[in-house]
Amino acid sequence: MNHHAHAALLPRLALSLVLVLGLPAPLTALDTRLPDLGDSSGSLMSPTRERELGKAFMRSIRRTQKVMDDPIMTDYVQQLGQKLVAASDASGTPFSFFVIDDPAINAFAGPGGHIGIYTGLILTTDTESELAAVLAHEIAHVTQQHLLRTWESASRLSIPNAAVLLATVVLGAAVGGDAAAAAAIGGRAALLQQQINFTRANEKEADRVGIEILAGSGYEPRAMPSFFARMGKANRVYASKLPEFLRTHPVTTSRTADALGRAEQFPYRQSPEDLRYHLARMDLTQRQIARPEDAVRELTLMLEDGRFRNEAAVRYGIARAQLRAKQFDAAAGVLDRLLAEHPRVVEFIASRAAAERATGNEAAALGRLARALERDPSSYALNLEYAEAALAAGRPADAERQLTRFLTFRADEPRVYQLLSRAAGDLDKRAAGHAYLAEYYYQIGELDAAILQLDIALKQPGVDFYEASRLESRRAALHKEQQLKDERKDAAK
């Protein structure tokens, strides 16, 4: 289901904040030496509150941005991001990485370790080390607490109000801010606006720490200055309309030289390109061609002419385009050859299972996915494809069991709740089905629809006392959040 199909259900609550590569100038980085903006304790935001703000951040992002719900792409970016986090001084901070389907050359970090990257930036990179350099820079802004003072400045507000305040300051209308709510807290937003200044010191520190993360995770540290240098050349090409990266992250020769000097402290490393990086870029490339039949033709010509950096990636791109074109048998043939060469690659396994499911061979898909999940139980792509296949095979209990287990790895993915709702419905667990659907709507920021689903759940026959109490408690929490939103609207009139 397209998350944006529901956008008209609610007034927009823009939260998106602390863009590191996408802030309106001059807000690219936040000065940790800000004067006290109202927090009498003088301490940084508590981890609990930061997590809650992070969840609100993602709800707003999903409502206002084209967050890709493709499990395979999400799986890859998560894997890459977590590899970098493992080499950082993350101090147990949970991180979540996601992709926004937008040609902008952009990326950002938000509260709770949520880091988004745009498809345009992925396609702009030349190597996986360059893509890793961007993510490492974002991770560094989080680990060095460059962002926490901004969140702390809103710590005396409720989570929804803090979200609107920070959105007003950082992004405003750029992602569809709630104009009425912004007006209601405009004075405080104006004060915060005056206190935040772009600092080169924070950017240099994020570069330095990011380079260390790159080296520690096995990537080539020189990829960061290399990417800066290419962006610097682009700076001279673009006239009045710079990419977000260049508009908000000025790439100067001194910054590039400084990054290169730091990278030169590490030995040169010819790290092998990860196949998954090439697969991701080729999948994005074929998606850019509107008609899948045209994509199949263009990528086939690319393969025949030898115009590629990775042959397996081009063949994979052809298979993905064939799946889009419903040419399932042709896609299966391509994927079988790829699996013979690379039997454990998630992209090939999940895509082949999708082809099997599409042709009614759910049993084969389930067997394939079950074997893969034994090796990689936390894979987002494998878990969701398994659930889809189980539902198609008339085995909703298997889908419910697998997805419930997966929630221990990631409890904030809307599509997981959507599939759980389908499974519960097939099992005639009506109240549970509506409760799961409520969580789906809540995760994508549709508060009214979430409350309505809880109302329906409570009216289902056979709801026992304990389930009713749980549903009532959840509904009360969402209703309170709804009241806060309504109060902001009233205050702005």
In this predicted structure, the answer to whether residue 333 has a pLDDT above a threshold of 80 is yes
User: What's 273's DSSP letter?
Assistant: P
pLDDT on residue 410: 86
Tell me how far apart the alpha carbons of residues 250 and 257 are, in angstroms, rounded to a whole number. 14
Tell me how far apart the alpha carbons of residues 453 and 461 are, in angstroms, rounded to a whole number. 15
Distances (CA, A) of 285 to 100, 241, 313, 321: 15, 23, 11, 10
294-322: per-residue pLDDT in tens?
999 999 999 999 999 999 999 999 999 99
Whole-structure pTM over 0.85, yes or no? no
Helix, coil or strand: residue 99: strand
Distances (CA, A) of 51 to 54, 259, 285, 434: 5, 32, 35, 26
pLDDT class of 39 with cuts at 50, 70, 90: very low
DSSP letters for 179-207: HHHHHHTHHHHHHHHHH----HHHHHHHH
Tell me how far apart the alpha carbons of residues 371 and 377 are, in angstroms, rounded to a whole number. 10
In this predicted structure, the answer to whether residue 26 has a pLDDT above a threshold of 60 is no
In this predicted structure, the answer to whether residue 247 has a pLDDT above a threshold of 70 is no
Which range among 104-113, 182-191, 390-399 has the greatest average pLDDT?
Answer: 390-399
pLDDT on residue 21: 33
Q: Give 253 or 420, the one with higher predicted confidence.
A: 420
Tell me how far apart the alpha carbons of residues 389 and 392 are, in angstroms, rounded to a whole number. 5
Q: pLDDT averaged over the chain?
A: 80
pLDDT on residue 302: 97
> Do residues 368 and 395 touch, judged by C-beta distance below 8 A?
no
Identify any residues that bridge with 173 across adjacent strands, giving them in sequence order.
none
| CA-based nearest residue to 319, from 358, 355, 269 | 355
Residue range 361-387: mean pLDDT, rounded: 97
Kindly list the catalytic residues: 138, 207
147-205: per-residue pLDDT in tens?
666 556 555 666 666 655 554 444 433 333 444 444 444 545 544 444 443 356 777 88
In what order do the strands lie in the sheet containing 96-100? 96-100, 114-118, 107-109
* Residue 339 identity (one-letter amino acid): L
Identify any residues that bridge with 107 across adjacent strands, giving them in sequence order.
117
In this structure, of 3-12, 109-118, 429-438, the range with the lowest mean pLDDT score is 3-12
